[in-house]
């Protein structure tokens, strides 16, 4: 038997500035590149009623300029120095990154610190970004097949607590109603150093990096930590179904989901391995039995936290959900039944150790390959810090997944993936109707 490939050990240095900003440094001098990754502990699930879309609006506002960086210059400075950058909004955090040549570390730190301390919150910038968000929604959600169902309808069906069920992008009405004062308050509350995690990965010298970080961020004042909203879902979930008529879809789809376990609990690890068995790679059960065998599916996508999160940034309460694009000659109910049948096989018959060995190999390979990217390393370090307070889990957490036994997978399938706990959203190609 071939011994498993050893995971590279990611070096980690973690400390906290006097203002509460958490810093993680990970040196890798293989190539002269650094990834600067900034996470703020604010996502769509902290928003208030009447103020949906603020987390996403702020992702846009953060590129509108600051005291020493005029509008448009953030992009120009990064790109003219040979770098790339972006930002994204999630249910539980908002993140920004710059990938730069390592001799431009100071440029990236200066840019991030300047907008943390002095973002330009003006009526003109706010109006511009309201329109940008609306346009993004029109292009990437409203006019794309399946997107409205995933972004708006699925959360409303899958969750009962408003904090979890409202749209991540938010409504036009709430955006229009937002004022400069609202935005300034949101910024002061959440875009503070003590609500942030900074990760720097790559070709750095630790003493120099620490000195620069202190220089640029050390004197930004902390703020009162915001209260955390109650995300609790009602106990004892019941089955729910819905239908969305999608004017842009050409073939039907269904989303099937089940409330998932607590992050990093034994059930979480077992469910993640069950997902690999069902949907991971060319040897997965859905690929072999539904795409090739019954020839009912066209494609599928699944993960703990889908569609807004993944296994690494899943935070409960959340779902394990599967998106199933299927052939029109099968009914949605047939597709749901076929998916449930694959789960029932594991519930009734368990898992062959050889099949689990293949799943472990697939997961290990995917994980080790992903660590070759300095951006992915930075994201994992930041997520393990933000969600668990333990960035060192990047070096040990894989063992928790690989240690899952066939009995644990069978147990988690029986406990969590039952029709009595299931939510199903049908997506039908049809003229738009109320859903």
The pLDDT of residue 64? 92
Judging by DSSP bridges, how do beta strands 196-202 and 33-40 pair with one another? antiparallel
Structural fold of domain 240-429: Cytochrome Bc1 Complex; Chain A, domain 1 (3.30.830)
For the chain, give the percent of residues with pLDDT over 90.
Answer: 86
Are the beta carbons of 130 and 84 closer than 8 angstroms?
no
- Model confidence at 171, in pLDDT bands (50, 70, 90)? confident
pLDDT tens column, 361-397: 999 999 999 999 999 999 999 999 999 999 999 999 9
In whole angstroms, how far apart are CA 379 and each of 29, 163, 201, 314?
A: 18, 25, 10, 13
pLDDT band of residue 2 (cuts 50, 70, 90) is very low
Range with the lowest mean pLDDT among 31-40, 166-175, 384-393? Answer: 166-175
Q: Model confidence over 76-103: pLDDT tens digits?
A: 999 999 999 999 999 999 999 999 999 9
How far lies 149's CA from each of 57, 138, 251, 360, 401, in Å? 21, 14, 14, 33, 31
State the pairing for strand pair 253-259/319-326: antiparallel
pLDDT in tens, 298-353: 999 999 999 999 999 999 999 999 999 999 999 999 999 999 999 999 999 999 99
Same fold yes or no, 13-217 and 240-429: yes
Residue (of 10, 393, 398) closest to 201 by Cα position: 10
pLDDT tier, 129 (very low <50, low <70, confident <90, very high otherwise): confident
Query: Which among 207, 149, 143, 171 is positioned nearest to 44, based on CA atoms?
Result: 171
Residue boundaries of the structural domains of the chain:
13-217, 240-429
pLDDT in tens, 313-323: 999 999 999 99
Q: Does domain 13-217 correspond to CATH entry 3.40.1160.10?
A: no
């Amino acid at each position: 038997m071939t011994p498993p490939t050893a995971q590279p050990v990611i070096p980690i240095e973690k400390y906290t500035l006097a203002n509460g900003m958490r810093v993680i440094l990970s040196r890798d001098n293989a190539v002269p590149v650094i990834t600067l990754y900034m996470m703020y502990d604010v996502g769509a699930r902290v928003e208030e009623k009447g103020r949906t879309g603020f987390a996403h609006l702020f992702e846009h506002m953060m590129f509108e300029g600051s005291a020493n960086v005029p509008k448009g210059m953030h992009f120009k400075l990064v790109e003219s120095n040979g770098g790339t950058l972006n930002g994204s909004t999630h249910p539980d955090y908002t993140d920004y990154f710059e990938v730069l040549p390592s001799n431009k570390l100071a440029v990236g730190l200066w840019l991030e610190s300047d907008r943390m301390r002095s973002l330009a919150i003006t009526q003109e910038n706010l109006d511009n970004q309201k329109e940008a968000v609306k346009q993004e929604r029109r292009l990437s959600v409203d006019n794309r097949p399946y997107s409205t169902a995933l972004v708006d309808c699925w959360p409303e069906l899958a969750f009962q607590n408003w904090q979890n069920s409202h749209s991540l992008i938010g409504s036009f009405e709430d955006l229009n109603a937002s004022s400069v004062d609202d935005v300034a308050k949101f910024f002061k509350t959440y875009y503070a150093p003590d609500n942030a995690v900074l990760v720097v990965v790559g070709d750095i010298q630790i003493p120099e990096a620490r000195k620069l970080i202190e220089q640029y961020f050390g004197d930004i004042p902390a703020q009162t930590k915001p209260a955390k909203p109650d995300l609790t879902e009602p106990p004892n979930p019941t089955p729910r179904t819905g239908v969305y008529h999608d004017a842009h879809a050409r073939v039907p789809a269904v989303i099937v989901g089940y409330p998932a376990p607590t992050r990093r609990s034994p059930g979480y690890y077992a469910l993640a391995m069950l997902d690999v068995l069902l949907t991971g790679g060319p040897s997965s059960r859905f690929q072999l039995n539904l795409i090739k065998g019954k020839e009912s599916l066209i494609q599928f996508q699944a993960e703990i936290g889908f569609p807004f999160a993944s296994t690494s940034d899943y935070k409960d309460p959340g779902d394990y959900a599967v998106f199933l694009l299927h052939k029109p000659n099968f009914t949605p109910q047939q597709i749901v039944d076929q998916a449930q049948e694959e789960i029932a096989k594991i519930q009734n018959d368990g898992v062959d150790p050889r099949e689990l060995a293949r799943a472990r190999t697939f997961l290990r390979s995917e994980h080790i390959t992903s660590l070759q990217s300095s951006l992915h390393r930075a994201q994992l370090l930041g997520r393990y810090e933000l969600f668990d307070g333990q960035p060192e889990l990047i070096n040990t957490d894989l063992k928790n997944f690989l240690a899952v036994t066939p009995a644990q997978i069978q147990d988690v399938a029986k406990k969590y993936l039952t029709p009595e706990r299931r939510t199903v959203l049908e997506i039908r190609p049809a003229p738009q109707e109320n859903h």
